[in-house]
Structure 1
Amino acid sequence: MALIFGSPKKQAPAKDDIGSDHRLAMARDMYMAGKMKLMTTEAVPGREIQSAFGLIVCRSYNFDNAFYGLMAQAVDVNADAIVGYRETIAFHPEGDKYYSCYGTAVRMKKIK
């Protein structure tokens, strides 16, 4: 039997669970407690950047995993803020969404 209208719909990828990944849960807790700053601008108001670790990117079919995965990567490099934060969504023709979150991981100077 031939398919006239294309291939059958693919199965959606398994949804990731933030609760099963310790790094994501820790990153979420840090962000919610205000210990990790996230700015869409290139600076944190009233603070100076001590060092920049570079661009970090996290992608997933689940927004929470992409967002908190980005935070976890920042924690991994000992950053305490992400500046220049951006996010994009790519739409698959079959309806799936693919989230990309990215920004520059930085370490802020201590407040005196």
Structure 2
Amino acid sequence: MALIFGSPKKPSTAKDDIKNDHRLNLAREMYMAGNMKLMTTETIPGREIQSAFGLIVCRSYNFDNAFYGLMAQAVDVNADAIVGYRETIAFHPEGDKYYSCYGTAVRMKKVK
């Protein structure tokens, strides 16, 4: 039995996508350097939230694309942290995984 529309086309590998996408590469570098904080809690210990930009969500068949895409969205709105981070995985009937990463983009007050 064949599907009429077929399955969604899977993108190339996550490493290739990050290398070719400037936004994802910048977001990865910021996260790895510690310039973008990520917390599963609603606050960052010892820091105060200056402003919240709202919920951001990124989805992809590759976890790295979903994760660093979320970071790139936070950078786009001038956030320096994501609080309330969560991730989910949906399984396609053909065995593919579909990742969703989400959280609230926030700007932290400067440390004095």
TM-score greater than 0.5 by the shorter chain: yes
Aligned to 2:42: 42
Cα distance in 2 for residues equivalent to 1:11 and 1:102? 22
Give the gaps of 5 or more residues in structure 1: 1-5
Task: Work out the percentage of aligned pairs sharing the same amino acid.
Answer: 81
Matches within 5 A, 1:7-18: 7=2, 10=7, 12-15=9-12, 16=14, 17-18=17-18
Which TM-score applies when normalising by structure 2? 0.91
Q: Aligned Cα RMSD in Å?
A: 1.4
The superposition leaves residues 50-95 of structure 1 with CA deviations (integer Å, 9 ceiling, x where unpaired) of 0000000000001000000000000000000000000000000100
Per-residue deviation at 1:14? 2.3
Cα distance in 2 for residues equivalent to 1:96 and 1:37? 30
Cα distance in 2 for residues equivalent to 1:48 and 1:7? 54
Give the gaps of 5 or more residues in structure 2: none
Query: Within the alignment, does 1:29 sit opposite 2:29 as a pair?
Result: yes
Number of aligned residue pairs: give it.
Answer: 107
Q: Which has the larger radius of gyration?
A: 1
